Each structure stands twice: as structure tokens, then as C-alpha cells.
Amino acid sequence: METFILLTITGLGLGAMYFLVASGLSLIYGLMGVLNFAHGAFLTIGAYATWWFAEQLEGSIGSPGLRFFIGAVLGLMAGAVVGAVVEVALIRPLYQRHIEQVLVTVGLSLALVALVQAIWGPTEQLYPVPEWLFDTTSVFGANVPNDRFVEIALAVVTLVGLLAFLRYTRYGLIIRAGVENRAMVTALGIDVRRAFTLVFALGGVAAALAGILSGVYFGSVDPERGTSLLIFAFIVVVIGGLGSIVGSAMAAVLVALTQQYVNFYASAGIGDLAVVLLLAVTLLVRPAGIAGRTVVAH
């Protein structure tokens, strides 16, 4: 029973990262029709930026917790900046040419990961995580590492925040309307392109957050981190239904728990295959995914 609880909470922690990556991908796709292959690179950059800033602060700030926190805030900002710059400089000039936009993000994903590898080397870097995150808390007899709760809490906050943003703000309204029918929004005289940059920046922040949390979860960061998480995020996006935030959240939990349980109860590695099988079954039964239609905020 303790093992089961530990597995479940750990699975939810993993699901939190999948959701953070998938929500950005899904929103970008829903609004712009762009599959952002560079999303994994955003994640890697966010994770590395946090690590690098925290290292640089070592002389000036004594408390490792504060160092990590400041590093993480700067890492999130790096994610936002990279996302916005990529949209403005590379995606926008190819407006409405979806194939070329996808190809540019493919090239970018290869180039950025190679760049990170060239600068900081191919081997993993230890993550400067504050001690208390590695301590455990007892939940019904199971000793769960504290970082799992942080991951889950931040993902829930992001989910609620995103939904509130989409529902109650003017930009949220434009994004929702844009997902439904972009041509109509443009016809009404609203410049949707500003919303594009915003969505890319938001996606960059969410990806960077996922990267930082993955550094905490695995205790280290390496250049391939983004790519490996991105593939599972793709699976989550398809199972959840393209363009749906809530669908992504549900699918992230489903995928991560399946992966954890099967990896433990069957054999390590089989869980990853089980997730792909889950994808195949979803496509056979319900090709449009859990959320089915093009709704962002229910």
C-alpha cells in the first residue's frame, strides 16, 4: 500500500511536468496551428538558465534556497524571452505557412540543443536543489520526497491560473476566440498576432517551469532532457485533444500514472511502451482525444 501511494504521488509529480509542457504546446497549436518542436529546447534552456544563475550567485548570496529561488525566477524569465523572441523573429515572418513554421522549429530544436551541448558539455549537471526538497513527508505510511508536492502544487496553480487568464482577461478572450475562429477575430479588427507572441511567451514560461521541476525531480539536467519530455508531451496533447488545456491536464495524469504503475509492477521501460499503446487505443476509440473538440476553457 505504501508503495502504491508513493508511486501515485510520484506519478502525479511526473504528470505535472507533462502537463506544463503539453499545455503550452496545445495552446500554441490551438491558436496558431503551429506544432512547436522547439518547445523541448525552451524547457532545456529554462532548466540550464536556472542552474547557471544559481551557480553565478554562489559568492554573493549565502542561502542555497534563496539562490535557487532567484535562479528559478530568472530561468522562467529566460523561458519567456526565448519564447517571445522565437515567435517574433522566426515564426511571424512565416505567418500562415504551417509546414515551414514546423520545419523552422525542427531546425531550431536541433540547433539550440547542440548549442547547449557545445557550451556546457553533453554530460549532466547536478542541480542546486535546497535540502528540504529531498526530505520526505509521511503520507499514510509512505515516505514521499517533498519535491513531488511542489511539482503537483505548481502544476495545479498553473492550470487554475491559465484557465482564469483565458476566462477573465481581455487577452484570454482574444485567445479563446482565436482558437475558435481566427479569421472572424481578425475581421473584427483585433490584432491576433500580439496574442501569438503572448502565447509563445506563456508557453516558454510553462516549459521553463517544467524544465526546472525536472531538474529537481531527477536531481540533474542534461541537454537531451527537453527532447525526451517533449515526446511524452506530444502523446499527452494527442490523447487530451489538440487545443484543450483541461484535456491536456487529464491526459497528463493518465499518461504519467500508467507509465509509473507499469514501470514498477511490470518492468522498467515497459511503462513507456504502455503509454504508446494507450495512445494507439485512444486513436482507435476516439481519434479526436479526450476533450474532443476545439474548446480551450470549459
Partner 1 sequence: MRTGLRLGVAAAVFALLAVVPYLSVETHGVFSSPLDSPGTLQLLGLMLVLGGVALSYDLLFGYTGLLSFGHALYFAVGVYIMAIATTHWDWALWQAFLFTSLVGLVLPFLLGSISLRVGGIAFAMVTLAFAEAGSVLVDKNPRAWTGGEEGVALAFDKLPESFVGVLNTKNLYWLALAYLVIVFVIVTWVVDSSPGRVWQAIRENERRVEVLGLQPFRFKLMVFVLASFLATGGGVVYVLLIGGATPQVTTPAFTLALLLMVVIGGAGTRWGAVLGGALYTFLDNRLLDWSDSAAVRKLPGVLETPLSEPLFVLGTLFILLVYFIPGGIAGVLTLRPRRGLRQIEASLRGQEAEPATAVDDGAEARA
Looking at residue 50, its amino acid is T
Q: Which residues contact 161 (CB under 8 A, 6 or more apart)?
A: none
Pick from 5, 190, 270, 297 the residue near partner 1 by CB under 8 A: 270
As a whole number of angstroms, the distance between CA 286 and CA 119 comes to 44
Contact region with partner 1 (CB under 8 A), list: 125-133, 136-144, 147-155, 287-295: 287-295
Is residue 119 at the binding interface for partner 1, with CB under 8 A as the rule? yes
x/- string (CB under 8 A) for partner 1, residues 187-216?
A: ------------------------------
Q: Is residue 221 classed as helix, strand or coil in its secondary structure?
A: strand
x/- string (CB under 8 A) for partner 1, residues 10-39?
A: -------------------xx--x-x----
Q: Which residues contact 162 (CB under 8 A, 6 or more apart)?
A: 23, 27, 202, 245
Pick from 111, 164, 188, 266 the residue near partner 1 by CB under 8 A: 111
Contacting partner 1 within 143-162 (CB under 8 A): none
Three cell numbers written together for 270: 515497459
- DSSP-derived letter for residue 268 is T
Residue 143: strand pairing partners: 138
Looking at residue 278, its amino acid is L
Q: Where are the beta strands (DSSP E) in the chain?
A: 125-126, 136-139, 142-145, 220-221
Contacting partner 1 within 36-75 (CB under 8 A): none
Pick from 65, 182, 219, 264 the residue near partner 1 by CB under 8 A: 182
Contact region with partner 1 (CB under 8 A), list: 6-14, 140-148, 203-211, 233-241: 233-241
Is residue 293 at the binding interface for partner 1, with CB under 8 A as the rule? yes
Pick from 27, 76, 104, 155 the residue near partner 1 by CB under 8 A: 104
**41 burial level (CB within 10 Å; 0-12, 13-18, 19+):** buried
Output the smallest distance, CB 175 to partner 1, in A. Answer: 13
Nearest to 217 by CA among 39, 15, 1: 15
Nearer to partner 1, 118 or 164 (CB): 118
- DSSP-derived letter for residue 170 is H
Pick from 93, 137, 153, 188 the residue near partner 1 by CB under 8 A: 93
As a whole number of angstroms, the distance between CA 82 and CA 152 comes to 25
Three cell numbers written together for 258: 500508467
Nearer to partner 1, 91 or 205 (CB): 91
Is residue 118 at the binding interface for partner 1, with CB under 8 A as the rule? yes
Q: Are residues 69 and 178 in contact, defined by beta-carbon separation less than 8 angstroms? A: no
Pick from 66, 110, 153, 164 the residue near partner 1 by CB under 8 A: 110
Is residue 254 at the binding interface for partner 1, with CB under 8 A as the rule? no
As a whole number of angstroms, the distance between CA 214 and CA 109 comes to 18
Output the smallest distance, CB 137 to partner 1, in A. Answer: 32
Nearer to partner 1, 1 or 183 (CB): 183
As a whole number of angstroms, the distance between CA 75 and CA 82 comes to 10
Which residues lie near partner 1 (CB under 8 A)?
29-30, 33, 35, 90, 93-94, 96-100, 102-104, 106-115, 117-119, 179, 181-184, 227, 231, 234-235, 237-238, 241-244, 268-270, 272-273, 276, 279-280, 283-284, 287-289, 291-294
